[in-house]
Amino acid sequence: MVLVNLVYMNDSPTLYPQISIGLGSISACLKSKGHDVVLFDTYYDPDDFIIKKIKKYKPRLIGISTTEIHSKHAFEIAQKIKNVINIPIIFGGVFPTICPDECLNNKNVDMVLVGEGEHALNDLLSYNLAGRVSGVWRKNNGSIERNGTAIVPQVEDLPWVDYSIFRKNSITPVGNFGDGPKSRFFIWTGRGCAYDCSYCCNSLLKKILRCGIRYREVNDVIEEMKNLTDKYNFDEFFFTDENFLYNCERVRTFCNGYVDSGINKPFGFLSRPDMINHSNEDIIRLLQKSRCIRIHMGIETGNEHIRMKYLNRNISNDEIIEAFKLCKKYKIKTVSFNMIGFPFETMEDIQKTYDLNVKCEADYVCFSLFYPFKGTVLRDFCEKEDYLLSKSKEMKSYFKGTVIKCDYMSHKDIVKLREHLQKNYPKTIKLKGHSFNLGWIT
Ligand code: B12
Ligand code: SF4
């Protein structure tokens, strides 16, 4: 038996504890081949506790999953582990996939998995960690051995996610989107996105993975939902797919099948405003009938020019308003995602973002601070135009800090402004001349 410790960087101070669908999927695959898996979750487990347990278990391999913002902590844990025991460490997840060299340049990281980990980890373990495995990059006599991208799994063939490795509180985390606390169960039905928003890692991921959207069989999804409903106690499902409404035919098949299944549990998902309009109103009606209660969509900015030109989201304000109003008509709650703090953004632009949300009557709004993820088009733009505050600046939250030099606002002001918007929504506010001592107000 092999023991793989997966250390999950889940320490965002702004979020309730949550699971990682990716790690649950990896665990299911490893276990199906007879491997043992133990997960430590940095939300609960202090570093010292993790190290103590690793020393006791002496696993063959330690996997660390990290996004960009958590990577500093990921490197720290790797160092603490290596200080006490020399077990190979492999990094995986979105950030290592996009920045494998940066990860491998750290002396405590032995390998990096570029891409999806289900098959690659099984292969690596069956080759006793030594053979060449697609997607596994490693150090070799002072240089880096690059082995392309992991073979992308056929999602229809993957086993159901192994939820048992996560703590109970993370499996059914409680969130409040303005209609009281509700426990949510994360489940996935597809992977990937067809769009290329300039601030999002998905446009890059599809190039690295060399594949588009992949879907599970609808019947299998419904079967899994039935199983989870019997097994766990929670209020609603949440689909982690990037854009659940992308394929209308599939949404119809899902809704009809879900109604027939009698599961009758409310569900919500992520999508885009341009997926919802009068020409597909029948879908919204069907969603309501099948108990869709919440749709999360990005408005991102109220300035159409910024949205279309800089964010590469070809969606007009009118389309956005139409989408939110249609959801309201069918009593489906809406959650909107927005970013402020683009380098060239003015106070008027931020006012437009706020006002558009009010106009849309979004039931819950999330204002975060723009963060330029490495590898994205907007990151390259910020680097080229010298908009990054400092290369080494550390960020722990997209709500409390920014790495951007804004043309018209100071770092401090933009953070305050975000809080102000979040706190006041949906009240009418006028930002110009607001009492913050913002020197740039004319
Ligand atoms: C659904 C989703 C969410 C959900 C649930 C997230 C979750 N815990 O699973 C919610 C809405 C809660 C969420 C929250 C956030 N998210 Co999010 N989210 C996504 C989304 C759309 C899909 C994630 C997913 O399930 N993918 C499918 C699974 C199978 O892939 P995976 O998790 O990457 O895992 C595979 C591989 O990466 C690899 N792998 C992963 N770990 C490991 C470890 C080892 C050892 C190995 C070998 C392999 C390996 O194998 C896995 C299986 O194939 C992605 C976009 C994307 N394409 O990744 C953004 C994304 C991951 N999120 C992102 C962000 C920024 C956030 C938030 C910080 C947003 C915020 N402002 O609060 C939070 C932070 C969450 C956290 N603690 O990490 C960014 C991360 C950017 C970056 N470069 O770091 C992404 C990439 C979107 C973007 N903006 O570009 N998110
Ligand atoms: S639509 Fe969403 S998931 Fe797709 S590229 Fe744009 S922001 Fe990313």
Tell me the fold of 3-145.
Answer: Rossmann fold (3.40.50)
User: Quick one: which atom of ligand 1 is closest to the CA of 371?
Assistant: 65
The pTM (predicted TM-score) of the whole model is 0.95
1 pLDDT exceeds 80? no
The average pLDDT across 52-70 equals 94
Lowest mean pLDDT among 10-19, 176-185, 417-426: 10-19
- Average pLDDT in the 130-142 region? 93
Mean pLDDT of 378-397: 82
Peptide bond into 426 cis (omega under 30): yes
Is the beta carbon of 113 within 6 A of some atom in ligand 1? yes
Q: Does the pLDDT at position 397 exceed 90?
A: no
Cβ atoms of 47 and 78 within 8 Å: the answer is no
CB atoms within 10 A of CB 262: 7
Strand bridging mode 267-271 / 111-113: unpaired
Give me the pLDDT at residue 9, please.
75
> Closest ligand 2 atom to the C-alpha of 196?
5
Cα distances (angstroms) measured from residue 430 to each of 300, 350, 366: 19, 10, 19
The confidence band for 279, taking pLDDT boundaries of 50, 70 and 90, is: very high
pLDDT reported for residue 8: 80
- Give the architecture-level CATH label for domain 172-424: Alpha-Beta Barrel (3.20)
Ligand 2 pocket check for 241: Cβ under 6 Å? no
Alpha-carbon distance of 74 to 267, in angstroms, equals 33
pLDDT band of 231, cuts 50, 70, 90: very high
pLDDT at 76 over 80: yes
Q: Is residue 401's pLDDT more than 60? A: yes
Position 150 pLDDT exceeds 70: yes
List, by residue range, all CATH 3.20.20.70 domains of the chain. Answer: 172-424
Q: Which residue spans of the chain are classified as CATH 3.40.50.280?
A: 3-145
The β-bridge relationship of strands 136-140 and 143-145 is antiparallel
- Split at pLDDT 50, 70, 90, the class of 411 is confident
Which has more pLDDT, 17 or 112? 112
CB atoms within 10 A of CB 253: 15
d(CA 240, ligand 1 centre) in Å:
9
Pocket of ligand 1 contains residue 296 by CB under 6 Å: no
